[in-house]
Chains A and B, each alone.
Chain A
Amino acid sequence: MRRIREIVAVTVVAGCVLGTAAQTLAYEGGEVKDGGTISGTIKFAGTPPARKELQVTKDKEICGKKQHMNWDLVVGPNKGIENAVVSLLDVKKGEKWAMTKTTLDQNGCEYTPHVAVMPAGGELDILNSDGILHNIHTYGQVNSSINRAQPKFKKVLTEKFAKPDIIKVTCDAHSWMLGWLVVSDHPYVAVTNDKGEFTLRNVPPGNYKLEVWQETLGKKVQNVVVKAKQETKVTVELAK
């Protein structure tokens, strides 16, 4: 009996300590003075593979309006990688994230955007512009899986993801559909444009770890120093 009491006591104390620890680890959003900027380009090292065409196997009258190309690795001119995700790791303090709502559209049986960024705990509006049955099937690392139907009459579905995560999104009705959701607890996260460029604004000065993730090329981490009111240029190369 005494043993049990001891264990309980230890657990409670440990829980309190860890709880406060977790709280101090959590991101704190507020005003940022003299913030710097990180900008740069994510490039592909080597010869980029050609994009393949995806076969539209059903609902051709809606899905087959345009040609579907593979989105999993898109390399633009000057080898800039589109849809790579750049984010800062272990940011404790910084700008408050104003964004609360993100949209993921299913248009022409394709997810737009291909990679969507959203705040942890924020809402994701999933639109069904196609007016046919889609389903949202998510595969996250930490957030539990969701598989919701979105029939024609359901124009908007709203989902929440509580924890930072990289989540794969598929539609079981249209096997070629593939999208990604990046859930972050701080606003210093960006998706590269078609030239492979990104910008992270208003970063409090300091030393950071910059992580680059791409769905087929994986992750790469690099150190970066941000100085007050200055722009730091970064170029990261990813290879197969």
Chain B
Amino acid sequence: MSRAAAFVAIARRELDTIVRTRSYLALTVGLAVILSGIVTGSDALQGGYVPTAVDLLLPLELLVPTVSVVLGYRAFTGENDDLSILRTYPVSTVLLTVGVFVGRAIALVVILGVPLATVAVLVAVTPGVESAVFVTHSGVDSPALFVRFATLTVVFGVVVLSLALAVAALARRSRTALALALLVFLGVVAGGDLLVLSRLGGPGTTVDLASLMAVSPNSAYRGLVFETVIGVATADSGFANPALNVVGLAGWLAVGLLTTGIALAARSWNPQFVATWKAWLRNRLPTTEN
């Protein structure tokens, strides 16, 4: 088995695991129902793609981290001792990490994408504001803006997924994994923003808020939605620093994947790793003999 084939096999295994788990199907359907419910409850559907995105932004800020954490936090600690099985593939830790991540990310694309696509279809089939007397136009509203929104949402989800995988790699036991996963969830949903808030200080403090918010994953996501989806329709901008937000999200993705990789490596190589360190230290420690 080549390295590429092994990588594909790992990703495939992860995807199949999720596809076989019925509860994930229920999760997808449930999400579709929740999202559709939110937008049908308001007048957003009639308003178009942008108002719909506006209505979904806040619920998704909560739902996406939930889904991502659920999807990732037990990737290596399942009842089947997943890590041991995964270790049977002849691949490096790097490929193993990326393979698991890609497999689950594809599942995440489906779990988030199907409900969002459902909503998009609802918008498309809901007649907009119409009048027998006046000519109407759709204003600045476009399915493309909704695709942007969906893309950003999935990207946000993928970033949180990488953090959830790190948790799964760090935790040896399911209970630890659950506690850490909750920590990731709270950190993503509230922690980053609280940090930003605390940095604002008094009215006299000079802070580049737009840049600061790029550090908080959900603020980075929200900023990108405001800047590239909502702002387009209202011709407003300055909600965020898009480039920096992308860097921020990429940074969290890197943190998640690196932590996963290192933790997996540490777990696999543990005895040898520790022995090496001990030897290294012993050699450099000053001798106590005199």
Does B bind A?
no
Residues in B lying within 8 Å of A, measured CB to CB: none
Task: Show the binding face of A for B, using Cβ within 8 Å.
Answer: none
